[in-house]
A and B are shown apart, each in its own frame.
Chain A
Amino acid sequence: MDIKKTFSVKGMHCASCVTLIERSLKEVEGIKNATVNLATEKATVTYDPLKVNDSHLSSAVANAGYQAFLGDEMTHERDEQAEKKKELQALKIKVIVSLALGALILWGSFPGLMNTAPKILQNFLVQLLLATPVQFWAGWSFYRATISALKHRIANMDTLVAIGTTVAYVYSAFVTVLPHVVESIGIEAFPYFDVATIIIGLILLGRYFEAKAKAGTSEAIKKLIGLQAKTARVIRDGKEADISMSEVEIGDLIRVRPGEKIPVDGVIEEGESSIDESMVTGESIPVDKTKGDTVVGATINKTGTFTFKATKVGQETMLAQIIKLVQEAQGSKAPIQRLADLVSSYFVPAVLMLAIITFVAWYVIGPAPALTFALLNTVAVLIIACPCAMGLATPTAIMVGTGKGAEQGILIKDAESLEIAHKINTIIFDKTGTLTKGKPEVTDIIVVDDANKDEALKIAASLEKGSEHSLAESIVKDAENKNLALSKAEKFQAIPGHGVEGIIEGKRVIFGNRKLMQRENISIGSQEGNISQLETEGKTVMMLAVAGKLIALIAVADTVKESALEGVKQLQRLGIEVAMITGDNQRTANAIAQKVGITRVLAEVLPNQKEAEVKKIQAEGRIVAMVGDGINDAPALAAADVGIAMGSGTDVAIEAADITLINKDLKSVATAIILSKKTMKTIRLNLIWAFGYNVILIPVAMGLLYPFFHILLNPIFASVAMATSSVSVVSNSLLLKRKKIN
């Protein structure tokens, strides 16, 4: 079977290039057709995947003298990383050169130290010579950014550094070249080349560390992208071939051998194996899978060989969805960031104005030498101000927090959800499928008078066959296990919150709970004792009535998840009130709640009333999270302050919830809340640091402490503080990675 592929071609500039590439591609054996578009710089090729692979395509394009870009997201990622590495290397050289030259100048000019320096270093002209490359070569990036920003009437970090260092450099150059001019107005002709050069060196050093640290904040996404398999072993027309991921189609039969990565999502057709899904769900224990079970792309096949049919490929796979969600969360904004946003939009112009005030104040009312004080303090103000720390405080923490969550199978929809989650003080768990496994089984059948147990089960199952309720499934399954031949039900109707009704073999049959029996005026008095007993055991009792008479009780019980008790306890330890919501009657609900340690029980709640119950608790002034399966309880999840959907492996309704837990482990709920609390703590610390730093140090740099304590901030120390401030914010966010959340 032929496949079609489109890829980018670089280096084309005219129509003849198009012909050349098309011809070169068509010459490759196995390529049926090739068209190249000059405008979009793309080639589309139809070829036989068994004969042609990516390297054939790229060498054909290379033979024509052009470059093909066949890579996927991974390749782009690698290219970007290589580019970043090159930039960092160049930055490193600039840092070393500026700091080395700066150190020489400092040695030759710093009072107390200069006496030990060789005479040549004390020469101002030599210092000018050493400072010039630092100012205009290493510091060029500041000028470049300043010039382009000024064209847009924008002032930024670079503007401050460029103005600050230029003031120091130009003044120093002036006193070096024309010392008599300054001396004539009574000022000693002393340059400050050390200030300009060391500031540039240190700020570049800060940027170097910041760039390295920042790369760490987006590591989670890189890791997720790296999980993708590169090829898939597809069986087409009876032949097996390794093809690239972009060529895999829905319906393809794919073979996976032990130790291999499962390339896409699908359903096992043949064979069985144990699969490590930890990279997607965070669950460390491998899961046994066999025919009919779903497999997730990017997970690892441990033991057996199996073939599966691809059901989701490309952007539809679970991994692609997870990547998309994490990327979206990292692009979103937390409400706590609003103040930082507001401040940063006025910050740099405000600092420029403060610098002018500083200069004027020191010049007009400052002590002698007024010009020197005015200059150095102005430079200190310009250099100490650090708007970047404010800009980085929230997003870096959100990136690390959401990434850490994804590694543990906790997907957070956006920064806002992450922020609200730390305030949650009430959590409502949906019972079926969340606290319990959601796979109920028939435990007891009690017949009334002389009715037959199998006959009762047969009637109930015949009726329930048309129902989609999870309890119905258990009844039908039990009947099938007992090989009972089911009858056809007519006029089937589901009565939400009550049960079902229909006509079987000409008789009206109703099957459901107590409410249904009351509605139909069917007496259950004789069985009240049995019903209470079963309900106290946590079983759901359904009553079967045929032709207006109760004939049997069928009890169904769902198993509580192993992690439920511990999951609830962890939340209670965090001081969170835990409630359970269910359609079951009070007695059954209480029994289940007791097993998992929940005291607040909202029983007999119809599916459409769950939303109202959530709102009722919110009205008590509580911040409520609702935990459900995300499919049946979407309105309740949406009504809650934070909707948490618990997936069961693959069928996760990611869109429905604010937080999606991919694994079935109930302890993840507490983990998600702890993650939110820790992330918010990091954000707060970052913001306090970033704001506090500027609010305290800018006035110090202006010299406000001078009249009282004679304290001034040397511009070089200002640059040390500035260089460390944004690095410390990013590093603090990275510390989140190491924090224990479970």
Chain B
Amino acid sequence: MIIDKIIVTLLGIMGIAFTYWFFLMKRSKEVIVKDSIDIIVDGGYSPEVISIAKGKTTKINFLRKDPTDCLEEVVLSDFKIRKHLPLNQKITIELTPQKAGEFGYACGMNMYHGKIIVK
């Protein structure tokens, strides 16, 4: 019965490595937004990372397609915005950032995350 223990241990190590790589080492592609963008809310935010211009008003339209409770709110705390996202309805948030930098946003329970880069 030693062989099975070795196999389980090896699979376990591979599982841990895979979990680390899959969830913690992902790199999201940055989407440059000109005037407005639709962000689909379905198991996360896509696109997840957007970059917008400083001092200019950009419309971010959230469209929630996922009924998961977690996602029913989106919180852009750096911009002091907490919005309810009704299912299958476009909710527009207008941002006119005055400061450059990276600003994270998340769902109401802080489980799903996205990022707004202001340049």
Chain B positions within 8 Å of A147 at CB level: 43
Q: Does A62 interact with chain B (Cβ within 8 Å)?
A: no
Which residues of chain B come closer than 8 Å to A151, judged between CB atoms? 43-44
Q: A141-B67, A147-B43, A349-B24 are in contact. Are A387 and B5 (CB under 8 A)?
A: no
Task: Give A677 to B21 CA distance when docked, in angstroms.
Answer: 42
Bound CA–CA A154/B81 (angstroms): 23
- Knowing A356-B16, A363-B8 are in contact, say whether A329-B46 is a contact too (CB < 8 A): no
Residues of B within 8 A of A359 (CB): 8, 12
Known contacts A152-B44, A344-B111, A392-B109; A357 and B16 CB within 8 A of each other: yes
Give the residue name and chain of the A residue nearest to B79 (CB).
A331
> Does residue A333 face the partner (Cβ distance < 8 Å to B)?
yes
Question: Which of A83, A328, A390 sits near B87, CB closer than 8 Å?
Answer: A83
Q: Is the CB of A153 within 8 A of B109?
A: no
CB nearest to A343 among chain B residues: B110
Q: How many B residues are at the interface, by size bracket?
A: 35 or more
Contact of B19 among A207, A340, A356, A360 (CB under 8 A): A356
Number of A interface residues in the complex (CB < 8 A): 52
Let me know if A154 and B43 touch, CB within 8 A.
yes
With A80-B86, A148-B43 in contact, do A353 and B66 touch (Cβ < 8 Å)? no
CB of B85, distance to nearest CB on chain A (Å): 10
Q: Which B residue sits closest to A362, measured CB to CB? A: B8
Task: Tell me whether B44 and A154 are in contact (CB under 8 A).
Answer: yes
Q: Would you call the interface of chain A mostly helix, strand, loop, or mixed?
A: helix
Which chain B residue shows the least CB distance to A340? B110
- Return chain A residues, CB-CB under 8 Å to B23: 153-155, 348-349, 352
Query: Known contacts being A152-B46, A156-B70, is A341 close to B12, with CB within 8 Å?
Result: no
Q: Is the CB of B81 within 8 A of A328?
A: yes
Q: Which residues of A contact B56 (CB under 8 A)?
A: none
| Assembled-state Cα–Cα distance A330/B80 (Å) | 7
* A345 close to B113 (CB less than 8 A): yes
**From residue A728, how far is it (CB to closest CB) to chain B in Å?**
15
Q: Which A residues touch B55, using CB under 8 A?
A: none
In the complex, which of the residues B20, B80, B84 contacts A349, with contact meaning CB atoms closer than 8 Å?
B20
Secondary structure class of chain B's binding surface, majority of residues: mixed
Name, among B12, B16, B81, B110, the residue most crowded by chain A CB atoms within 10 Å (CB to CB): B110
* Given A149-B44, A151-B44, A349-B20, also A357-B110 (CB < 8 A): no
With a cutoff of 8 Å between Cβ atoms, the chain B residues found around residue A158 in the complex are: 68
Q: Which residue of A lies closest to B25 (CB)?
A: A153
Q: Is B76 a contact partner of A331 (Cβ separation < 8 A)?
A: yes
Known: A153-B23, A211-B69, A364-B8. A331 touches B110 (CB 8 A): no
Indicate which residue in A149, A207, A331, A353 contacts B82 across the interface (CB closer than 8 Å).
A331
Query: Is A395 at the interface (CB under 8 A from chain B)?
Result: yes
Please report which residues of chain A, range 319-335, place their CB below 8 angstroms from some CB of chain B when the two chains form the complex: 327-333
Query: Residue B39 at the A interface, CB < 8 A?
Result: no
* 13 sample A-B contacts, Cβ–Cβ < 8 Å, listed by A number: A80-B84, A145-B43, A148-B68, A154-B43, A157-B111, A207-B69, A328-B81, A329-B80, A331-B79, A331-B81, A353-B15, A387-B111, A388-B70
Name A's B-contacting residues (CB within 8 A). 79-80, 83, 87, 141, 144-145, 147-158, 207, 210-211, 327-333, 340-341, 344-346, 348-349, 352-353, 356-357, 359-360, 363-364, 387-388, 390-392, 395, 414-415
Besides A360-B11, A363-B5, A395-B110, 18 other CB < 8 A contacts?
A141-B68, A145-B43, A148-B66, A152-B44, A156-B111, A157-B111, A211-B69, A328-B81, A329-B80, A331-B75, A333-B77, A340-B110, A353-B20, A363-B8, A388-B109, A391-B109, A414-B80, A415-B77
